[in-house]
Amino acid sequence: MSPEHKHIVKSFDQDLQRLQVLFMELNALVILQLEKASMAVIEHDKHMAKKIYEDDDKVDAIEFEITQFSLRLLAQRQPLGEDLRRIVSAFKIATNLERIGDYAENMAKRILKSENHRKLHESNPFRQSFLTLTKVVMNRLEEVMKAYVENDAETAQKLWKKDEEINEFYWQSFQEILNFMIAHPQDIPFYTDLLFILKNLERAGDRISNIAESIVFIKLGSLKVKKEN
């Protein structure tokens, strides 16, 4: 729908604007959590990990606020058409963002609980793989939420397809780490932790893909533009 067609009831537009602001807050927080998790993994920073663990409550609180707000919008506005799709999708998108927050928290927990973890030094052959994957996930998250705000189904569709790249990168790293573990059995506990951490990033990629799918649905009312095999 063309953006110039505003709702006759102006406060409905303001409500939808408010929903976007809440999503931006949630997204900024989740990206920060991922960034901190990345640093905590590299530096084996337990203090940072603890902070991530504590801040997960903030992520949950914004997700809850979005849920409550969307419920109110459903009851109050009784939306139809694209508005209905947007508000119903808000529940899903908020859940997906919250789960990405949980993955950052999972990474932090592993650092806090595992006795095997240590710094990922520059000399570590997998430091770069980990940093690359983290960066890709954070960038994708930023892009997908930009597409959400701009109601840009085309970009969302591209990002949806790009999830395969994250999966491939993860499996490639997985295989390399596995081979490394076979060659260096004394490091198995540490690299097992790293595999779990990478798996969390791969799962975050899946969640981003879900968000992209929701954006396509909001705009088109269907999942017409199919994922290419």
Residues that bind other proteins (CB under 8 A): 1-2, 5-9, 12, 78-85, 221-222
Taking residue 177's Cβ as centre, other Cβ atoms within 10 Å add up to 20
Query: Which CB, 80 or 182, lies closer to other proteins?
Result: 80
| CB of 184 vs other proteins, minimal distance in Å | 55
| CB of 77 vs other proteins, minimal distance in Å | 8
Query: Which CB, 46 or 226, lies closer to other proteins?
Result: 226
Query: Which CB, 85 or 140, lies closer to other proteins?
Result: 85
| CB of 76 vs other proteins, minimal distance in Å | 12
Q: In whole angstroms, what is the distance from residue 227 CA to residue 158 CA?
A: 9
Q: Could you write out the DSSP letters of every residue in 100-154?
A: HHHHHHHHHHHHHH-SS-----TT-TTHHHHHHHHHHHHHHHHHHHHHHHTT-HH
Identify the burial level of 222 via C-beta atoms within 10 angstroms of its C-beta, where 0-12 means exposed, 13-18 middle and 19 or more buried: exposed
| CB of 105 vs other proteins, minimal distance in Å | 35
Query: Which CB, 92 or 199, lies closer to other proteins?
Result: 92
